[in-house]
């Protein structure tokens, strides 16, 4: 058993429904076999457990590990494409890189960079868009297993529209997906996600196979893209006989509480109602939406309809792994919507980056906050002395103000240590301090 001593911030009480940030100053968490078995003021816990090993994290800030609900493993070397809307960006920038994943050695190198980048940003759980090649998806699960991240991922499938080398057939998609799931689903912290790229690149036959595969893997998730860009949406409507975008998944039984759909920047009210009734989650990816000029996410309409929303980095259209940056951009986005925006506080941002993500991924019994009974998935933030964030934190009015400054100024360089199941990750990065 270990006593972690420090200041802990988390959001077990949803700030979107009246909850507030939970702040525990000079507190302790007792961690036993990776699980938090007690929490309280440090002096009290110390008295109760005088002989336990202490990990002293005072002087920093401990947050739950982030949960990234939408990130593309094969795109880490394709961050930074500017000046293109979605379909042009895919064609000219992202998909040529995704085609390189045919080379398993290349994919393994990318996988190592990818898991290192996630962990260094304080992300401990992620729903990851895999590659179009099964061997490349194997390299991702292998790399994630080495680091110990909680990864849900799968083979990305498409049978039209993309460059030919990225296409599959419904039969091959089924065989390869089930084979991958049998190798990785439920093995260690890995889980499988059925992953058609987007309905624009998938026939009804392929989407039907996705449903078959989803039903064959108990505990698997479903993920894809939805209503990201106006030209994309128009093309989907043409391809599917005038259907709205959400309907292209729903007609194959692909929308329920296991589903995570990225973007949904331009939904109709009918689609929002469908998403709410189905229990699906929308992964809001604000830096990506800004880079590709996709639009401003209507968070208020999602909340009004009761649609679950979490946060995704969407690397590589997104600008990096940090959910601190995504949180700040989510805040910007709502500010820019003016009267139509939903005002966000730092507590909302932390909730979106942690608890909401855990709920989306079906992991909320295990992770998402630092309550007794949860696994100790956590990150220590401690800015360098004299840095703008250190100055900001020193002069903050209260804990919520500290958190607002962390979202505004924090970067992966401020993430000094990351734990999963109480185990310190040995992340091989320049900023790791242990
Ligand atoms: N829609 C289909 N594929 C992609 C992708 O790789 N990135 C984004 N942002 N949208 C997509
Ligand atoms: Zn995406």
Measured CA to CA, the distance from residue 415 to residue 109 in angstroms comes to 23
Pick the residue whose CA is nearest to atom 5 on ligand 1: 90
Token pair in block for residue 292:
């590709």
Q: Is the CB of 225 under 6 A from ligand 1?
A: yes
- Residue 82 buriedness (CB in 10 A; 0-12 / 13-18 / 19+): exposed
Residue 70 Cα, ligand 2 centroid: separation in angstroms? Answer: 6
* Structure confidence by residue, pLDDT tens digits, 166-210: 999 999 999 999 999 999 999 999 999 999 999 999 999 999 999
- Fold assignment, 66-360: TIM Barrel (3.20.20)
The size of the chain, in residues, is 434
Percent of the chain with pLDDT over 90: 98
Other CB atoms within 10 Å distance of the CB of residue 174: 19
Residues 83-96: pLDDT tens digits? Answer: 999 999 999 999 99
pLDDT at 429: 47
Backbone angles phi, psi at 26, to 5 degrees: 40, 60
Pocket test for ligand 1, best of 86, 266, 295 (most atoms within 8 A of CB): 86
Return the HEC string of 60-128: CEEEECEEEEEEEHHHHHHCCCCCCCHHHHHHHHHHHHHHHHHCHHHHHHHHHHHHHHHHHCCEEEEEE
The pLDDT tens digits of the residues spanning 364-412 come to 999 999 999 999 999 999 999 999 999 999 999 999 999 999 999 999 9
Do the first three CATH levels of 2-64+368-424 and 66-360 match, i.e. the same topology?
A: no
- Our answer on whether the CB atom of 415 is closer than 6 Å to any ligand 1 atom is no
Among 131, 198, 260, which residue has the most ligand 1 atoms within 8 Å of its CB, making it the best to mutate?
198
* 163: exposed, middle or buried (Cβ count in 10 Å: 0-12, 13-18, 19+): middle
Residues 6+ apart with CB under 8 A from 386: none
Residue 7 three-state SS: strand
228 lines ligand 1 (CB under 6 A): yes
Nearest in space to 265 (alpha carbons), one of 299, 217, 238: 299
Where are the chain's structural domains?
A: 2-64+368-424, 66-360
User: Given a cut of 80, is residue 292 above it in pLDDT?
Assistant: yes
Nearest residue to 318 via CA among 294, 353, 351, 350: 294
Find all residues with CB under 8 Å of 342, minimum gap 6, and list them: 299, 300, 303, 334
At residue 427, the pLDDT reads 60
Q: Does the interface ipTM go beyond 0.85?
A: yes
86 lines ligand 1 (CB under 6 A): yes
User: Selecting from 1.10.10.10, 1.10.3720.10, 3.40.50.300, 2.30.40.10, what CATH number does the domain 2-64+368-424 have?
Assistant: 2.30.40.10
Do 176 and 212 contact (CB within 8 A), yes or no?
A: no
Crossing angle for the helix pair 134-147 and 104-120, nearest 10 degrees? 40
Question: Mean pLDDT, to the nearest integer, of 240-248?
Answer: 98
pLDDT at 432 over 90: no
> Is the CB–ligand 1 distance for residue 198 below 6 Å?
yes
- pLDDT digits 0-9 by tens, 104-132: 999 999 999 999 999 999 999 999 999 99
Q: Report the alpha-carbon distance of residue 380 to residue 410 in Å, rounded.
A: 12
């Amino acid at each position: 058993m270990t006593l972690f001593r420090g200041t802990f911030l988390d959001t077990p009480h949803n700030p979107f429904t009246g909850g507030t940030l939970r702040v525990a100053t000079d507190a302790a968490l007792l961690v036993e076999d990776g699980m938090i078995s007690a929490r309280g003021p440090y002096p009290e816990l110390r008295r109760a457990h005088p002989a336990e090993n202490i990990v002293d994290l005072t002087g920093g800030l401990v947050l739950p590990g982030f949960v990234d609900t939408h990130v593309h493993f094969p795109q880490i070397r394709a961050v930074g494409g500017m000046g293109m809307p979605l379909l042009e960006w895919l064609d000219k920038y992202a998909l040529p890189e995704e085609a390189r994943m045919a080379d398993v050695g290349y994919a393994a190198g990318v996988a190592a960079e990818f898991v290192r980048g996630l962990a260094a940003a304080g992300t401990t759980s992620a729903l990851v868009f895999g590659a179009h090649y099964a061997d490349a998806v194997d390299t991702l699960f292998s790399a994630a297993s080495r680091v110990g991240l909680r990864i849900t991922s799968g083979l990305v499938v498409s049978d039209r529209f993309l460059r030919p080398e990225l296409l599959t057939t419904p039969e091959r998609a089924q065989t390869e997906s089930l084979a991958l799931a049998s190798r990785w689903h439920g093995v260690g912290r890995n889980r499988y996600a059925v992953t058609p790229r987007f309905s624009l690149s998938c026939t009804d036959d392929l989407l039907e196979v996705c449903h078959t595969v989803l039903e064959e893997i108990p505990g698997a998730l479903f993920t894809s893209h939805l209503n990201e860009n106006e030209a994309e949406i128009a093309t989907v409507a043409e391809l599917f006989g005038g259907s709205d975008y959400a309907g292209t998944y729903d007609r194959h039984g692909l929308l329920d509480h296991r589903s995570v759909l990225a973007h949904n920047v331009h939904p109709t009210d009918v689609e929002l109602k469908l998403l709410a009734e189905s229990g699906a989650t929308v992964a809001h990816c604000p830096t990506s939406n800004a880079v590709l000029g996709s639009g401003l996410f209507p968070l208020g309409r999602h909340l009004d309809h009761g649609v679950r929303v979490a946060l995704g980095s969407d690397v590589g259209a997104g600008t990096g792994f940090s959910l601190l940056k995504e949180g700040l951009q989510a805040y910007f986005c709502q500010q820019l919507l003016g009267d139509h925006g939903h005002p966000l506080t730092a507590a909302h941002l932390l909730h979106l980056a942690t608890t909401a993500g855990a709920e989306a991924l079906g992991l909320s019994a295990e992770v998402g906050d630092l309550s007794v009974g949860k696994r100790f998935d956590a990150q220590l933030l401690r800015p360098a002395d004299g840095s703008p964030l250190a100055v900001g934190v020193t002069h903050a009015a209260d804990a919520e103000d500290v958190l607002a400054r962390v979202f505004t100024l924090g970067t992966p360089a401020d993430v000094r240590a990351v734990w999963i199941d109480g185990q310190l990750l040995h992340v091989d990065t320049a900023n790791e301090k242990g």
